[in-house]
Amino acid sequence: SGHDTGAVRQADAWPHVTHAGPFTVGFVPVSHSIPEASCLVIDTPAGRILHSGDFKVDPTPLVGEPFEPATFRAIGDAGVKALVCDSTNVFSDHPGRSEASLAAPITALVRGA
């Protein structure tokens, strides 16, 4: 394929970590509409950073891992210097819902079509 496959390493999910120079990086599965989304727990000499793209607090996702509050509580209890994240609906007054809650209504609509 022309690519150096030795340059890519598969990372196991938290609490396993990968070492990169002075950094230790853990990949924490998060629920999202895309499969295998993760946030990063980055331990640096100056402290811990939690970095994530968009994620969803969804205990019953159709795709991917459910959101685990206890995992994030434990990460936070260990101390976090900075949280860097994205949230599409952070300013929405309406709480999100699981895509799983839409399965029955969509099935009914398709059957009735």
Residue by residue, pLDDT tens for the chain (113 residues) are 677 777 777 888 899 999 999 999 999 998 887 778 889 999 999 999 999 987 888 888 877 788 889 999 999 999 999 999 887 777 888 777 777 788 888 899 999 98
Residue 27: other Cβ atoms inside 10 A: 18
Number of domains in the chain: 1
Quote the DSSP letter at residue 65. P
Contact 64, 29 (CB under 8 A): yes
pLDDT of residue 78: 92
Query: In terms of residue numbers, what domain contains 30?
Result: 9-112
pLDDT of amino acid 90: 74
Residue 3 lies in a domain: no
Asked if residue 80 belongs to a domain, the reply is: yes
